[in-house]
Every structure is written in structure tokens, then in C-alpha cells.
Structure 1
Amino acid sequence: MKPQDRFFSEGQCYFGPGENPLTETQCDVWDWDRLRMVKVKGTAKLFLPDEDIENTILAKFADYLSPEVRAITVDDNGLLVEVSADPEEDDTPFVAYLPFSMIESLADSRAIQYSKLQELGRLGPGLDLSSCEGEFGIPRKVAFKFNPLDKPLRLQMAWDELNILRILPPHPNIVPFNRVVLEDVESRVIGFTTKYIPGGTLDNPKTPFRFEWLQQLIRLVDFLNLELGIMY
């Protein structure tokens, strides 16, 4: 995962006038690596509206903090002065995932418990490279896609992606659906896996974009839109 993609802030919360530099301020920052919210505290002098400096501040300390830390406090220079493991400080959202047994549309889908996946690395926000036991007990790499945030739009997009990808007919330019992933306590649906295809991404501007790839993308969009009626 790119360092700049690891953190995002939900904004600044001022406990008083935001223009007063002494006003107590706190910011909830999501850490995609640890999959939890960390509260960053300070004053309005440091945390100006919409600048999201809290992402940069947390990035400096995150890898040195205990997994139990729920909040940090910094001075007006952004230097760490206090950490807290108080559960009351934990603003990590709870997501009410649906139980697998209640979802008729997934009744014929293969499923795997989350504990059966071995995390190998983060490919990006909400996307892990994992390993699981394949046919004949041979380990295989899969991409595990999930949504740990309680944002309605993100939840809807994740749900639509799972259900659409699961029923798509085979296509040479669509990564095939693998399994539904269930959490271990109540078998709730938390995501899905697909076949992992190595090769990187087009994020690197030095990677040449071949005309052949553009043709494949256009053919795929035509297939989804004209043959399946899916807008993309």
C-alpha cells in the first residue's frame, strides 16, 4: 500500500471557536493498515480546517505505537506528548454485516472463514493479498476485498460489487470470483476473494500503456453494458 493511501481524516472537531488557537481539537484518522480509527488531539493552532495535517502527524508515529493505542496527543509543533489505550477513546466504527444464512442470493456460493486466510500484505485500502488452502490442500494466493467502514455509500458499493461479480459469466478480462469471506463468530459476510493475478498496476506513470490494453478495456465495457445491461 502506498504511504499516502494509508490514512484519511474525518475532519477536525473543535471544542470551542475554531479561530481561537487555544481551542481543544481532535481528529479521527482512519488507518488502513491497522484497520482502526486513531484519535489525534491537539489545539486549533495546529489543526487548521480542511488541511488534514493530522494524517501526516499520525504517519510519523503510527509504526511505533502499540496496537492498543486508541488516541495520541501532540503539541503545537506536532510532537507526541501523550498516548492513550483507553477503550473509551476508540471511535472505530461497528459494521453490522449480514449473516450468511440470511442472504438467499449467496446460498449457492462457496465460502471461507476469515481465520482460514493468511494475510500476506496490503495491496491497497480494503484490499489484501492473502493465502488460503486451495484444491488438494495446495496453498494459493487470492485477493481479499472488504469494507470495514460504516459509510452507507461504501457499504452499498461493496455489496453491489460482490453480488455482480459473483454472477458474471466468464470473460477473459474479468478476474473470476472465488469465495465469500465470513467472520468466525457468527458467519457474517465481510467480503470476498478473487483470483490473484500479479503484475502491478498502472499507477506508475513510467509504465507504458499499450493500445492492446485499451482495446481490451473497451471490449469489456461493451460486454458489460451492451450484453449484460450493466452501467460502468
Structure 2
Amino acid sequence: MVKPQDRFFSEGQCYFDPSENPRTETRCNVWDWDRLPMVKVKGTAKLFLPDENIEIQILAQFADYLSSEVRAITVDDNGLLTGVSTDPEEDDTLFELDRLGPGVDLLTYKDELGITQKVAFKFNPLDKPRRVQMAWDELNLLKSLPSHSIIVPFDRVVLEDVESRVIGFTTKYISGGTLDNINIPFRFKWLKQLTQLVDFLNLELGIMHQDIAP
């Protein structure tokens, strides 16, 4: 389950006329990382003021009561629900899978031998140039790493069905939780493994990285 404070993410407000006009039609794309794909929240500029992200609060009220088929909701100027839509045309995303976190799904598939594989699927839900480049760099780096006992192995590149565009990649799924779980005791041998791996990546392969998080 995704932490409550991390569950929703808004891409911001999209105005179809000047935002100063309170009657301007407005749409906000909100991601529910826990159980739904992206949901469009529709209303007017009177409710959806620039950069206030009230659409997150609005969707949070209804999310647990909506069918997973819902792709858009419409609210009045008081934020009250006036309509829902299950029209697939409202949905710009291809993913309807169990969520491990933002942009990471747990899924299974059958390989060429008919064996079921459980994998983590990492994708870039925000179609922004910088994010796309970061995802592409990560994919290429991960698949180029030499085999290592404590590096989760790269699995496959995932392509879109229609245009065969790269939309993400999979790695083998390792069960057991993460270090983010404070109820799991932290063992010093894990710290040793982590520091040795960082040295391997930095000193032997010359790989630079940002923060290391659970």
C-alpha cells in the first residue's frame, strides 16, 4: 500500500480559456497511485485556482468509493460530485495494475516456456521530456550492469502494443518488504552489503547517482 501522504499526485490545472474567468472549463489530471489509474477531475476555474491543487483533496474524498473503471469525475463550484465517466477516451494511460509505489507496479507474466514470472514493472507516468530521458538512462544503465549477487537483475523492456514505443522495463521481484518498514530490524550485514555495492558502482564502474533511499 502507498502511504496516504504519497497517494495522490496532480499534474496541475488545464484551463480552456483565461483562468481569470471563473466560468472557464478546467480539467486536472490526478494520479491515484494506490488503486486507480489517472482520473480527470473536471470543473471550473472558480474552484480550481492556479497551483492550489484542490483537486487532490476532492478526489481523495471519493476515490475509495469509485469503481476502478472510472476515468473522470465532474464537480460543481463547491467541490460536490455531479457526474462520473467510464469512457476509455478519458484515460490517457495504459496501466491498470497493482501499485507498489509511484510509477512501480507488481505484475506477473508467462515467459516463452509458459513459466509464470513475478516482476516489478517501472514506468514513467509523467510524459515530460526530462523524466523520459531519466527513465531511458536508467533502463540502459541497469541492463548494462554486470551480474552481481546483490543487484536485482534486469528482466525485460516493455513496449506499447500499438506503436511499439518503449514505456518501461521490468526487474525480478524480491519479496520481503523494504528498509522503509520500521518494524523490520536492520541488520549490519545489510549495511555492509549496501556500502560494498556503492563502492562497486562508484569506484569500479564509475557510476554516479543521486540519493539512496529505502
2:122 aligned to which of 145, 161, 164: 145
Question: Whole-Å Cα distance in 2 between the matches of residues 91 and 52 of structure 1?
Answer: 20
TM-score, normalised by the number of residues in structure 1: 0.72
- Letter of the aligned partner of 2:81 in structure 1? L
Equivalent AA in structure 1 for residue 69 of structure 2: P
Deviation (angstroms), 1:193: 1.2
Q: Sort the Cα spacing of 1:23 and 1:183 in 2 relative to 1 into closer, same or farther, 3 A.
A: closer
For residue 190 of structure 1, report the CA deviation from its aligned partner.
Answer: 1.6
Structure 1's 66 and 222: CA in aligned 2 closer, same or farther, altered over 3 A? Answer: closer
Q: Alignment length, in residue pairs?
A: 203
Distance in 2, matches of 1:150 and 1:16, equals 24
Q: Work out which structure has the larger RCO, using CA pairs closer than 8 Å and 6 or more positions apart in sequence.
A: 1
Match of 1:72 in 2: 74
Unaligned 5+ residue runs, structure 2?
210-214
Residue matched to 1:30: 31
Question: 3-state DSSP class of the match of 1:137?
Answer: coil
Following superposition, the deviation at residue 59 of structure 1 comes to 2.3
Structure-to-structure mapping, 1:100-179, within 5 angstroms: 121-134=98-111, 136-179=113-156
1:81 aligns with 2:58: no
Evaluate the alpha carbon distance shift between residue 168 and residue 67 of structure 1 in structure 2; reply closer, same or farther with a 3 A threshold. Answer: same
- Residue 200 and residue 87 in structure 1: after superposition, are their counterparts in 2 closer, same or farther (change >3 A)? closer
Superposed CA offset, 1:152-204 (max 9, x none): 12111110111111010011221001111122233322211111110112233
Q: CA RMSD in A?
A: 3.2
Distance of aligned partners of 1:16 and 1:164 in 2 relative to their CA distance in 1, 3 Å threshold = closer
Q: Aligned partners of 1:66, 1:201: CA distance in 2, in Å? A: 27
Of all paired residues, the percent bearing the same amino acid is 64
The one-letter code sitting in structure 2 at the alignment partner of 1:190 is: I
Deviates more, 1:52-61 or 1:124-133: 52-61
In structure 2, how many angstroms separate the alpha carbons of the residues matched to 1:47 and 1:120? Answer: 29
Q: Distance in 2 between matches of 1:179 and 1:4?
A: 31
Q: Is the 8 A contact 1:181 1:189 kept in 2?
A: yes
Please name the residue that 1:101 is paired with: none
Counterpart CA distance in 2 for 1:85 and 1:139 is 31
Cα-to-partner distance string for 1:130-156 (whole Å, 9 max, x where unaligned): 111246422121111111321112111
Aligned position for 1:102:
none
Which sits farther off after the overlay, 146-155 or 221-230? 146-155
Residue of structure 1 equivalent to 2:212: none
Is the contact between residue 74 and residue 82 of structure 1 (CA under 8 Å) also seen in structure 2?
no
Match of 1:53 in 2: 54
**Structure 1: 5+ residue stretches without partners:** 95-113
In 2: Cα distance, 1:225 partner to 1:157 partner? 19
Secondary structure of 1:179 counterpart = strand
| 8 Å Cα contact 2:159-2:168 kept in structure 1 | yes
1:11 deviates by: 2.8
Aligned to 2:191, the other structure's residue is in SS state helix
* TM-score, scaled to structure 2: 0.77
